[in-house]
Amino acid sequence: MKTRVASLSPRQRQIVRLTSLGCTSHQIASILGMSRWTVENHQFQAKERLGVSKAAVLTRIAIKHKISPLDDQLSAAEQKKLARKAEKAKPSKKSVPRKAARRKARR
């Protein structure tokens, strides 16, 4: 298993680490600045190389082989990128009343 873990690319290691921290593919994509499909492709390739099929097993391997230690957490920069993406996703509160006012004016 050590040789399989060693065969992971640096990007695959990053994605395995973030997966083991409980991040979704959307969140990982936001943190790393790539598409969700690219993240899922790297996850699939990492699972193939390691010979596993589930994210839970991937997490166990990440912890056992020190890709993601037990006390690992998202870095401050990673948290900031995640928060920035979440902020952009929120709908603005101002747009809803304007639409309602326009509908009233038309009647």
Rg (CA), the chain: 19
Q: Which CATH number fits domain 2-106: 1.10.10.10, 3.30.1330.10, 1.10.3720.10, 2.120.10.30?
A: 1.10.10.10
User: CA-CA distance, 17 to 106, in Å (whole number)?
Assistant: 54
C-alpha–C-alpha distance, residues 26 and 30, integer Å = 6
Identify residue 29 by its one-letter amino acid code: A
**What does the pLDDT read at residue 103?**
66
How many other β-carbons are positioned within 10 Å of the β-carbon of residue 20?
A: 21
Has residue 17 got a pLDDT over 70?
yes
Mean pLDDT for the stretch of residues 60-72: 86
- The structure's pTM equals 0.74
